[in-house]
Structure 1
């Protein structure tokens, strides 16, 4: 894993010299008589400590790679830590003992004492423990962050799937009702039937053309809602009115495709509508709070269409992909309000 610090080139090059110099100072401090130790282990020997640090660092790095190969996903974290730590300590003792003994024997021309060997092995054994401690802290932090990223990725993918389902959904009830109305119109008035077919084709053309589009405009959504209203008005004797009180300079605002027509249809199917109780659905903008507000007078049917709640929930999930603001439905003073967040796209997103 390239994200683990022991694999970084800068760590492998810069840390051993610093740590080697620190080890040299520790060796001097361990011996009470600094003057005496300097006669045996002179200042130039700091390079030996740096060399030992390089050697031990690369040895422990190879030990980590070996531990990764010997363990799998079924191996517990504790087993992995114990295995890698113990093998690191053993390798540390072997490498340091052989290397420092060879240095004293072949370079200084006398054997290293047992005390000196213990000092070197003790310091570098602690170094091995610190190395593994830093590795495991970094390793499990990396895995935790990676797990969170994967979780976020899965949530994003699920939202994208739900968004796609919301946009691509073809309402079978609307289709069947439209076909039944069309059959009646064909026998009654051919011109009205042609007009009805035109609006029906616009509705489904909008659905099909926006299947692979993330966002449409408010203007397109209003037109789609008007087409839905036009189709359903044939069943309710033109007692449905959809009013969009939106300034022209706001018609470009982005929206999730299918938002307005889906909500308008669900409101119509959940409301008692007749010539004595016409339905007026109004769309307004509330720039202060950043919401589009769809409102209508409450006159719910005794059995409310279950699809109404589902439409709002699907809309909520779809908008959560683009905005932190929720889709809100409120009933107050005999009025039903559905608040849709106004989407604001960053310029860099548009550039993509």
Structure 2
């Protein structure tokens, strides 16, 4: 797994904050706000600046080593990595203090006592432990953030793949029925031409909408109109449909071809005859598109996978985070599609 580095601005700001916090009492003492006890030499401006400089360099190097530089050793086994980190931290600590003491004494002309040197080592060791702890937190945040990004990416990819799969499950049964109807219209050129034009439009719409997750209700109704023409060509006065949708809803996006699928579902599962014509109603009710028809079960076998409504429900769940509503009470089959 590739790990993202901690930003330099973050490391610099933490190093500066730790440095100022550690040297806060000495900085205050310069202004007589918090003088040290007699066991410590009186701080000078040069001495405080040198301490701040070395603490800042020390903090920066430790943070870098334990966050970004350690990534170079990720290929090593765990024990070797731990040994490298321990050796590296001790080396930085030793070098910084070894360089600090002579420079500090040379510039300030103040010789550090054994007590002050011991206290200096103690402070640096405490700061080292704190910085290692902070480094662990920074790395954990980076790893956690990357995990979230990867999981979200995988989730989106999974949803997209599932959505594509659902789109590809659309049953082309009505296209074959339309072609069969076309055979009976060959002699009537005008009607045949209209039929072919409607069919061509539907093919084109299917191909284009396959690249989109949502289409406007206006586009969907235009597609449905072509499908209705094909169905009426086949069933004549045995099939009728009423669409009552106000223009204010036409801009709303819905999953493509859901209305056609619901009308096709009604045609497929209900008897359509002179004595029992099929009527489908489409209208708006309580922020839902309602598609309903009276239940007239076919007496003949219906070749169906039973996945049509489940397909639509999954697409709504993926694209709008809502389920569709299905009911079949009072001999009326009703499907409600959320508008929002």
Q: 1:214 to 1:315 in 2, by over 3 A?
A: same
Q: 2:32 aligns to what? A: none
Q: Does the CA contact (< 8 Å) of 2:270 and 2:296 recur in 1?
A: yes
Counterparts in 2 of 1:7 and 1:304: CA distance versus 1, 3 Å: farther
Structure 2 match to 1:247: 246
Cα deviation, 1:261-285, whole Å, max 9, x if unaligned, reads: 1222123222233233322221111
> Using a 3 Å threshold, how does the CA distance of structure 1 residues 198 and 150 change in structure 2: closer, same or farther?
same
- What is the TM-score with the length of structure 1 in the denominator? 0.77
**How many Å separate the matches in 2 of 1:121 and 1:333?**
86
In the aligned structure 1, how far is the partner of 2:84 from the partner of 2:290? 61
| 1:315-330 aligned within 5 A | 315-330=312-327
Q: What is the DSSP-based 3-state SS (H/G/I as helix, E as strand, rest coil) of the residue aligned with 1:131? A: helix
Q: 1:132 to 1:6 in 2, by over 3 A?
A: farther
* Partner residue, 2:95: 95
Whole-angstrom CA distance in 1 between matches of 2:226 and 2:77:
61
Cα distance in structure 1, aligned partners of 2:109 and 2:249: 89
Q: Which residue of 1 aligns with 2:31?
A: none
Once residues 326 and 170 of structure 1 are traced to their aligned partners in structure 2, the CA distance between those partners, rounded to angstroms, is 19
Q: How far 1:56 sits from its partner (Å)? A: 0.7
1:72-111 pair list within 5 angstroms: 72=75, 82=82, 86-87=86-87, 89-103=89-103, 105-107=105-107
- CA-to-partner distance for each residue in 1:293-312, whole Å, 9 max, x for gaps? 11122334476654452x33
1:68 aligns with 2:74: no
Q: Spell out the pairing of 1:108-127 with structure 2 (5 A cutoff).
A: 112-127=112-127
2:151 corresponds to? 151
Aligned partners of 2:232 and 2:146: how far apart in 1? 54
Q: CA RMSD in A?
A: 3.5
Residue by residue over 1:237-276, the C-alpha shift from the partner in whole angstroms, topping out at 9 and shown as x without a partner, is: 5422221111233233322222211222123222233233
Q: TM-score, normalised by structure 2?
A: 0.80
Q: Would the alpha carbon gap of residues 205 and 59 (structure 1) be closer, same or farther in structure 2, given more than 3 Å must change?
A: closer
Once the two structures are TM-superposed, the CA of residue 23 in structure 1 deviates from its matched residue by: 7.1
State whether structure 2 residue 255 is matched by structure 1 residue 256.
yes
How far apart are residue 69 of structure 1 and its match?
A: 0.6
Q: Is 1:58–2:60 an aligned residue pair?
A: yes
1:293 maps to which of 290, 294, 298: 290
2:174 paired residue number? 174
Aligned residues: 330
Secondary structure of the residue aligned to 2:23 is: helix
Alpha-carbon separation, structure 2, partners of 1:13 and 1:124: 13
3-state DSSP of counterpart to 2:186 = helix
For the residue of structure 2 that corresponds to 1:261, the secondary structure is helix
Secondary structure, in 3 states, of the residue corresponding to 2:272? Answer: coil
**Within 5 Å, which residues of 2 pair with 1:133-152?**
133-152=133-152
Q: For structure 1, which runs of at least 5 residues remain unmatched after alignment?
A: 26-32, 344-352
Rate the CA distance shift 1:46–1:266 in 2: closer, same or farther, 3 A.
Answer: same
SS of the residue aligned with 1:293? strand
**SS class of match (1:284):** strand
- Shift in Å at residue 182 of structure 1? 1.6
In structure 2, the residue matched to 1:220 is 219
Equivalent in 33, 42, 48 of residue 50 of structure 2: 48
Q: Does the aligned pair in 1 maintain the 2:252–2:339 contact within 8 Å?
A: yes
